[in-house]
Amino acid sequence: MAVEGVYKETEKGENVYFNLKNDEPYVLLELVDKNGNHMHNGNILYIHKTTGKIHSARSINRDIGFELDCCGSVTIN
């Protein structure tokens, strides 16, 4: 897919890059490096193409600095 995004961490001054990937029957939001390569434990969430339901991935890379729950999933408020 041709969707990309950048999240700027204000404290560290580092950019985090996102990619949307077709992963039938889902669309996967994943973390990538500045060259577009998938990061280790970089899957963030899955969006089901038919139902629109969002499923959080587990064991996300803690080095990124997102707020994670006890399963390693991104907390969604």
Note the pLDDT tens digit of each residue in 22-38.
Answer: 999 999 999 888 888 99
Handedness of CA 67, 73, 4, 53 (dihedral sign): negative
Give 35-68 pLDDT, tens digit per residue: 889 989 999 999 999 999 998 899 888 887 778 8
CA distances from 65 to 10, 33, 43, 73 (A): 11, 15, 14, 12
The CB density around residue 17, as the number of other CB atoms within 10 Å, is 18
Sign for the CA dihedral angle at 77, 38, 16, 28 comes to negative
Residue-range domain boundaries for the chain: 4-64
pLDDT at 77: 67
What is the band of 75 on the pLDDT scale with cuts at 50, 70, 90?
confident
CB atoms < 10 A from the CB of 34, how many?
A: 9
What's the pTM value of the predicted model, to 2 decimals?
0.74
